[in-house]
Structure 1
């Protein structure tokens, strides 16, 4: 099996490293951060692929890492019930899943402060250049370095993120700070409200230390709000220090006027129980919503996985699952082809390009239905989360 360097130690990179090492590859992860990662406590819906490693390879049950809900609910602006269906989801936080994956990987193979500044593909292997000046040769480079992937920019310079026309305001609030009425209304469901050219959702995720006990968790909100490209977008994404941040504004970075407007709009337009969550978050943050689509995922001995290849809108809750699926499928093809790189990578690329394109288009349709066309309908089966289709 090949020697592999995984560039990027986030969820997708870690999953790829684990599954490739499991089939006998010599794997190291190169993470440019000098310390282990943190991600603002953001909530994620946990599809099966995201926690497949725990389900198949460890004694840790995915249920130990996730909160769960039993219903999907839609509310009107007064808090009245518009639609309800019984449907179970698992939710977690990025930090919870990251810490659990990291604990499974040998620490001496997870190299912090190891930024890869360049590489040369020699046909039969790739030479990495590190910021430290070190050079290292591997059989395969797996680029898991996210939406701003340096490998993608080098190999596919014409591919760039395309702004969707809207952003996601996000934040978490301890359930202990909710009124009893709001906790009762939200604790067992993912709860939506549809607004003109917008929608908002809230759901419970594990607490900061991973607590799954109701009342000790966090309530997570995501509110999709249209922001025109150009001056309006640049104004919003300029932080308190005057720096423009194209992709995200971390907690505390948004200028007060924008936070004040978010809270005022929440009070005026949202169902009272949802508004209580949004207005209660001390430091909401912003993530711009982009699409990225690549024509290739394999270029010589370099492959692109996760957001480095396809950055998809969040509406199918499948971004982390797609990144994990890329790693699992790469391992499967290497085994199927007895470690022969060229046929394994060719078949892997064919399969994952198809999956990425379908997921990208499905998320575009859902996002545009909400933010542009006004056809985002409570109870529409197409809105059920899933990697390969609604509920799949």
Structure 2
């Protein structure tokens, strides 16, 4: 008999980290319910994900779905100068997916019977045996284990570590996608088999192809990008964060909601600052959006029968392409700790927490250093091996 047969778990947050956690807990024997705050199915706004081993692990080890059906790949990393010339190029293979593609695949494996939309968790209490989570709808759910995977504005983190506050980095990311087929032939050819960068003073952009809604073929792929630009904290940032409805975004301003004057300025700046290929991608984006680049790290990831994973525990800048990998790594480590503890949930969480806290600290220190090199010190050097992606270190 499985040690967790008859045990219950509630996962707060139904994104990629939450679904990975839910699937692993279910495999251990837990009866798992997932509670997602948004009222509609998540779409991820078309964002791209660089696939690292921890992110893909569910699909390589336990799913009947195949990773190659969910991803695109490139064979080169290249840096483009402002005239489209290649200033550095090295053979390095990376794979990518779109947030929506990966989310739908995980949800397909988990199913929707125990996936609850429109349930915003607002607090919890626990004793030695159970955790009771309260939702703004008035619903209350009790479980043997509760995992908060509720992202950068986590309610769970606020309870476990009230002092852990979002810290603005000093820059934002303009994000968006364009169908590859809509780009010029020269731009398609230059970007086709590479993850591409253009680095300019106090800024850089990263571009790579991801699956579209129709699949991974040339007619379906999207060119995804993140363009980092400095915006000082204060009135300039506050004004940018106000969307067309007059609502300020804490960590993003959604597609179709960024004020037109900011989009216009961004497109003009792209033509002036970036390589022509990168500028074409940026200026061709129908609905770009803004990510406010912030950091936060909890000093605790576990208390009693409650755990934090992914961005709920540590949200780090995207430069290591490790956000989804960190969430998946947290989930797999939690699963291993629970299996080893053979039914003692509290002991499992106590054993699991120290290594995940250390991993969070190392990741955050590294991406802060990377961002400072790019945006402020101007020491982001094409080809520098310390700037490579990786959850555990450059290239790892």
Flag whether TM exceeds 0.5 (same fold).
yes
Regions of 4+ moved over 3 Å: none
Query: C-alpha separation between the residues in 2 aligned to 1:240 and 1:31?
Result: 25
Q: Secondary structure at the match of 1:107?
A: coil
* Structure 1: tracts of 5 or more residues without a match: none
Deviation at 1:306?
0.6
Q: How far is the alpha carbon of 1:302 from its aligned partner?
A: 1.1
Unmatched segments (≥5 aa) in structure 2: none
2:148 — aligned with what? 143
How far apart are the structure 2 equivalents of 1:107 and 1:235?
Answer: 39
Q: TM-score, normalized by length of structure 2?
A: 0.96
C-alpha separation in 2, matches of 1:131 and 1:226: 37
* 2:391 aligned to which of 376, 384, 387: 387
- Please say which of residues 326-335 and 32-41 is displaced more in the overlay: 32-41
SS of the equivalent of 1:72 reads strand
The answer to whether the aligner puts 1:43 opposite 2:28 as a matched pair is no
The whole-number CA distance in structure 2 between the counterparts of 1:133 and 1:207 is: 38
Deviation of the 1:242 alpha carbon: 2.3
1:121 equivalent to 2:118? Answer no
Aligned counterpart for 2:275 among listed residues 271, 274, 278? 271
Higher mean C-alpha displacement, 233-242 vs 159-168: 233-242
User: Could you tell me which of 201, 206, 211 is aligned with 2:211?
Assistant: 206
Which string of whole-angstrom CA distances, capped at 9 and with x for unpartnered residues, describes residues 169-209 of structure 1?
Answer: 01100111111100000010001011101111111110122
Equivalent pair of 1:187/1:214 in contact (CA under 8 Å): no
Do the aligned residues in 2 keep the contact of 1:337 with 1:343 (CA within 8 Å)?
A: yes
Contact preservation (8 Å) 1:202, 1:274: yes
Q: Deviations over 1:88-129 (max 9, x none)?
A: 000111000000000001321112223323211113221122
Q: Which residue of 2 aligns with 1:336?
A: 340
Report the Cα offset of residue 150 of structure 1. 1.1
Match of 1:261 in 2: 265
Is 1:161 matched with 2:177? no
Q: Which of 303, 307, 311 lines up with 2:307 in the alignment?
A: 303
Instruction: Name 2:182's counterpart in structure 1.
Output: 177
Counterpart for residue 227 of structure 1: 231
Contact kept, 8 Å, 2:160 with 2:302, in 1: the verdict is: no
2: distance between equivalents of 1:345 and 1:157?
Answer: 20
Aligned-residue RMSD, C-alpha? 1.2
Task: Tell me how far apart the structure 2 counterparts of residues 116 and 212 of structure 1 sit (CA, whole Å).
Answer: 36
**What are the superposed Cα offsets for residues 294-343 of structure 1, whole Å, 9 maximum, x if unpaired?**
11101222111111110000000000010011111101001111121222
Pick from 90, 105, 113 the counterpart of residue 110 of structure 2.
Answer: 105
Give me the whole-angstrom Cα distance separating, in 1, the residues matched to 2:260 and 2:141: 46
Give the alignment partner of residue 9 of structure 1, picking from 14, 38, 44: 14
Give how far 1:61 is off: 1.9
Return the alpha-carbon distance in structure 1 between the equivalents of residues 304 and 346 of structure 2: 9
Aligned equivalents of 1:345, 1:277: Cα separation in 2: 45
Tell me which residue corresponds to 2:285.
281
Q: 2 CA distance for matches of 1:77 and 1:134?
A: 55
Structure 2 residue matching 1:9: 3-state secondary structure? coil
Of 293-302 and 63-72, more deviation after overlay is shown by 293-302
